[in-house]
Amino acid sequence: MPYAHITGWGKCIPPASISNDEISEIVDTTDEWITTRTGIKSRRVSHVSTAELATVAAKHALACAGIDAKDIDLVILATCTPSTVVANTASQVQKNIGATGAAAMDTNAACSGFLYALQAATAQIQAGMIKKAVVIAAERMTWYVNWARRDSAVLFGDGAGAVVLEAAETPAGLLGTKTGCDSEDRDILHITNFGSDLNKYEPIGPSDLLFEGREIFKRAVKGMSEACDDVLEQANLSLDDINVLVPHQANLRIIQAIQHRLKVPDEKVMVNIADYGNTSAATIAIALCEAVEQGLIKPHSNIMSAAFGAGLTWAASYIKW
Question: Which residues belong to the active site?
Answer: 111, 248, 278
SS3 193: coil
- The nearest distance, CB 270 to ligand ACO, in angstroms, is 16
Our CB check for ligand ACO shows the closer of 6 and 155 to be 155
Contact 143/280 with Cβ under 8 angstroms? Answer: no
- The nearest distance, CB 275 to ligand ACO, in angstroms, is 16
Our CB check for ligand ACO shows the closer of 102 and 160 to be 160
- The nearest distance, CB 285 to ligand ACO, in angstroms, is 15
Report the alpha-carbon distance of residue 135 to residue 289 in Å, rounded: 13
Residue 237: how many CA atoms within 13 Å on its side-chain side?
A: 21
Phi and psi at 86, nearest 5°, equal -130, 110
SS3 153: helix
Report the alpha-carbon distance of residue 117 to residue 135 in Å, rounded: 7
- The nearest distance, CB 195 to ligand ACO, in angstroms, is 18
Our CB check for ligand ACO shows the closer of 184 and 202 to be 184
Our CB check for ligand ACO shows the closer of 10 and 277 to be 277
- The nearest distance, CB 125 to ligand ACO, in angstroms, is 29
186-194 long-range contacts, Cβ below 8 Å, gap at least 24?
A: 186/310, 186/311, 186/312, 188/212, 188/215, 188/216, 188/312, 189/110, 189/216, 189/309, 189/310, 189/311, 189/312, 190/310, 191/144
Our CB check for ligand ACO shows the closer of 33 and 143 to be 33
Q: Tell me the DSSP string of 206-267.
A: ---EEE-HHHHHHHHHHHHHHHHHHHHHHTT--GGG-SEEEE--S-HHHHHHHHHHHT--GG
Q: What number of helices (H) and strands (E) belong to the chain?
A: 10, 13
Contact 132/76 with Cβ under 8 angstroms? Answer: no
Interacting residues toward ligand ACO by CB under 6 A: 29, 33-34, 37-38, 111, 150-151, 154-155, 189, 211, 213-214, 216-217, 220, 250-251, 278, 308-309
Q: Is 158 exposed, middle or buried (0-12, 13-18, 19+ CB in 10 A)?
A: buried
Our CB check for ligand ACO shows the closer of 38 and 88 to be 38
- The nearest distance, CB 257 to ligand ACO, in angstroms, is 11
β-bridge pairing 302-309 and 244-247: parallel
Phi and psi at 266, nearest 5°, equal -50, -40
